[in-house]
Protein backbone atom coordinates (compact mmCIF):
# COMPACT_ATOMS: atom_id res chain seq x y z
CA UNK A 1 0.00 0.00 0.00
CA UNK A 2 1.15 3.52 -0.77
CA UNK A 3 1.35 6.18 1.91
CA UNK A 4 -0.59 9.40 1.53
CA UNK A 5 1.39 12.61 1.29
CA UNK A 6 1.27 14.80 4.40
CA UNK A 7 0.67 17.95 2.35
CA UNK A 8 -2.47 16.44 0.85
CA UNK A 9 -3.85 15.82 4.33
CA UNK A 10 -3.48 19.49 5.31
CA UNK A 11 -5.52 20.62 2.31
CA UNK A 12 -8.21 18.04 3.08
CA UNK A 13 -8.52 19.26 6.67
CA UNK A 14 -9.26 22.81 5.54
CA UNK A 15 -11.81 21.64 2.98
CA UNK A 16 -13.56 19.36 5.46
CA UNK A 17 -13.72 22.13 8.08
CA UNK A 18 -15.40 24.44 5.55
CA UNK A 19 -17.76 21.70 4.39
CA UNK A 20 -19.17 21.31 7.90
CA UNK A 21 -20.80 24.73 7.56
CA UNK A 22 -23.17 23.55 4.82
CA UNK A 23 -26.33 21.44 5.16
CA UNK A 24 -28.46 19.54 2.65
CA UNK A 25 -32.14 20.48 2.99
CA UNK A 26 -34.79 18.20 1.48
CA UNK A 27 -38.35 19.54 1.25
CA UNK A 28 -41.50 17.74 0.18
CA UNK A 29 -43.48 19.95 -2.22
CA UNK A 30 -46.98 19.08 -3.35
CA UNK A 31 -47.79 19.49 -7.05
CA UNK A 32 -50.91 21.62 -7.66
CA UNK A 33 -51.87 19.64 -10.78
CA UNK A 34 -51.56 16.02 -9.69
CA UNK A 35 -51.39 16.35 -5.92
CA UNK A 36 -48.30 14.13 -5.83
CA UNK A 37 -45.33 15.03 -3.70
CA UNK A 38 -41.92 15.80 -5.16
CA UNK A 39 -38.72 16.41 -3.27
CA UNK A 40 -36.51 19.45 -3.73
CA UNK A 41 -32.94 19.32 -2.47
CA UNK A 42 -30.73 22.32 -1.77
CA UNK A 43 -27.35 22.88 -0.17
CA UNK A 44 -27.65 25.80 2.27
CA UNK A 45 -25.32 27.41 4.79
CA UNK A 46 -26.17 26.14 8.28
CA UNK A 47 -26.93 29.64 9.57
CA UNK A 48 -29.68 30.18 6.97
CA UNK A 49 -31.53 26.84 7.26
CA UNK A 50 -34.19 28.09 9.68
CA UNK A 51 -35.02 31.11 7.49
CA UNK A 52 -35.22 28.90 4.40
CA UNK A 53 -37.63 26.44 6.04
CA UNK A 54 -39.86 29.30 7.21
CA UNK A 55 -40.05 30.56 3.63
CA UNK A 56 -38.25 33.88 4.11
Each residue's pLDDT tens digit, 4-48:
666 656 667 777 778 889 999 999 999 999 999 999 999 999 999
Tell me, rounded to whole angstroms, the distance of Cα 26 from its chain centroid. 9
Q: pLDDT tens digits for 1-15? A: 666 666 656 667 777
3-state secondary structure the chain: CCCCCHHHHHHHHHHHHHHCCEEEEEEEEECCCCCCEEEEEEEEEHHHHHHHHHCC
Amino acid sequence: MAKAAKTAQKKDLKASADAKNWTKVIRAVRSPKSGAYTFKEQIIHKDKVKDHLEGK
